[in-house]
Structure 1
Amino acid sequence: MARAKTHSLSDVLDQLESLAEGETVAVQDVVDKLGHQSFAALMLVFALIAVSPASAIPGLTATVAVIVFILAAQMILGRDSVWLPGFITRRQLSASKLCKGIGWLRKPIGFVERFLGQRLTWLLHRPWLLLPLVLILGLTLFMPMMELIPTSGSIASAVIALFAAGVLARDGAVVLASMALLATLPLAIWYFGFGG
């Protein structure tokens, strides 16, 4: 698998924001902008969209789940470039909602970036990386059903975003943290969805 270039998380947001010039942004435009080898960056972007206020768009969580599933599967298989089916790449996102979501994400992303660094990088290589990828793959299978439970899809997407941020920044400690959060995800969904 080709190694994705390391960008800061804010740089990824900048690239995404530069696409929002018209009324809508196609998924294919996002792939072309970030690059066909940027598995982690693409996973991060779509997971963040599902965490942001843009997640209110009906069906977005399910769409993000499909995209992340395909990306994770291709990373497991060791593909060198991203492939997404036409029904995904043709999907249009509202540029205004996308910009609103990016603006909302700026502050938390800036906070997270302070703690990122190249640590435990051996966790980002095979075979160690396969376990979190398989767990992310399994998580995406449940995400479409999470649209029925308030905030649960956003919580799941936050776990995926944290994992992708760790891979993108070459920070194995963040990948470990995402897996720890994944282990507590059922409890978090129950609390925020039913108990909160």
Structure 2
Amino acid sequence: MPKEKTRALSDVLDQLESSVHGESIPVEEVIEKLGRKSFASLMLVFSLISTSPASAIPGITAIVATITFILVVQMIAGRECVWLPRFITRRKMSTAKLCKGIGWLRKPVRFVERFLKARLTFLFHRPWLWLPLILILCLTLFMPFMEIIPTSGSIASAVIALFAAGLLTRDGALVVASLILLLAVPVAVWQFGFSG
């Protein structure tokens, strides 16, 4: 896995916000702004967008699932730089909705940052890291179908966001929390998809 400089989660939001201009922004510009070696930063940003009010954008859960799948495969393979296909990098996001999502995320991100610290760092080394990576890879395969089930897509995106935040801050407790939350995804799908 490529080594990344540990950065505060709010710094990632600052970087994303500074890239916003015009009425829409291509995914390619977001990647360039965050850096082509920042797998965790990119995973965090797109999964947070999918848990914010910006998730109302049609197809956003499927897009986040596709991006995360590609990023995780490259992390498992030990690739140094991010690669995403053109059909994703050419897509544009509404800057108004993106800024609204960033603003909504700032308060919870600042709250969470107070509790973050480097711990359980053995989870970021192979073979331990492969377990959450493989589980998240499996999760992304089901996410496109979650758009029809309220809440489940947001829970799945929150799992990815927690894992990515753990990678960025070297906080293994967040990785463990993401795996625990992952158990809630099938429960949510059952509850909202099959009850009543």
TM bucket, shorter chain? over 0.9
Aligned equivalent of 1:119 = 119
Please tell me the root mean square deviation across aligned C-alpha atoms, in Å: 1.3
Q: How many residues align?
A: 196
In structure 1, what residue type is equivalent to 2:49?
I
In the TM superposition, what is the alpha-carbon distance from 1:7 to its structure 2 partner?
0.9
Task: Show CA shifts across 1:124-162 (max 9, x none).
Answer: 111100110000000000000000101211110001000
Task: Show CA shifts across 1:70-98 (max 9, x none).
Answer: 00010000000100000000000000000
Distance 1:192 1:118 in 2: 36
In the TM superposition, what is the alpha-carbon distance from 1:175 to its structure 2 partner?
0.3
CA contact (8 A) 2:2 2:75 kept: no
Per the alignment, in what secondary structure is the counterpart of residue 4 of structure 1? coil
Per the alignment, in what secondary structure is the counterpart of residue 93 of structure 1? strand
In the TM superposition, what is the alpha-carbon distance from 1:45 to its structure 2 partner?
0.3
CA 1:186/1:36 → structure 2, altered by over 3 Å: closer, same or farther?
same
Task: Show CA shifts across 1:144-192 (max 9, x none).
Answer: 0000101211110001000100011001111011111112221134345
CA 1:192/1:15 → structure 2, altered by over 3 Å: closer, same or farther?
farther
Of 45-54 and 19-28, the range deviating more from structure 2: 19-28
Distance 2:165 2:126 in 1: 18
Aligned equivalent of 2:4 = 4
In structure 2, what residue type is equivalent to 1:48?
L
In structure 2, what residue type is equivalent to 1:31?
I
Aligned equivalent of 2:94 = 94
TM-score (norm 2): 0.96
Query: What are the equivalent positions in structure 2 for 1:135-154 lying under 5 Å apart?
Result: 135-154=135-154
CA contact (8 A) 1:152 1:193 kept: no
In structure 2, what residue type is equivalent to 1:152?
S
Distance 2:189 2:168 in 1: 26
In structure 2, what residue type is equivalent to 1:10?
S
Aligned equivalent of 2:159 = 159
CA 1:95/1:185 → structure 2, altered by over 3 Å: closer, same or farther?
same
Distance 1:188 1:112 in 2: 24
CA contact (8 A) 1:10 1:109 kept: yes
In structure 2, what residue type is equivalent to 1:54?
A
Q: Which runs of 5+ in 2 are unaligned?
A: none
Per the alignment, in what secondary structure is the counterpart of residue 80 of structure 1? coil
Query: What are the equivalent positions in structure 2 for 1:24-173 lying under 5 Å apart?
Result: 24-173=24-173
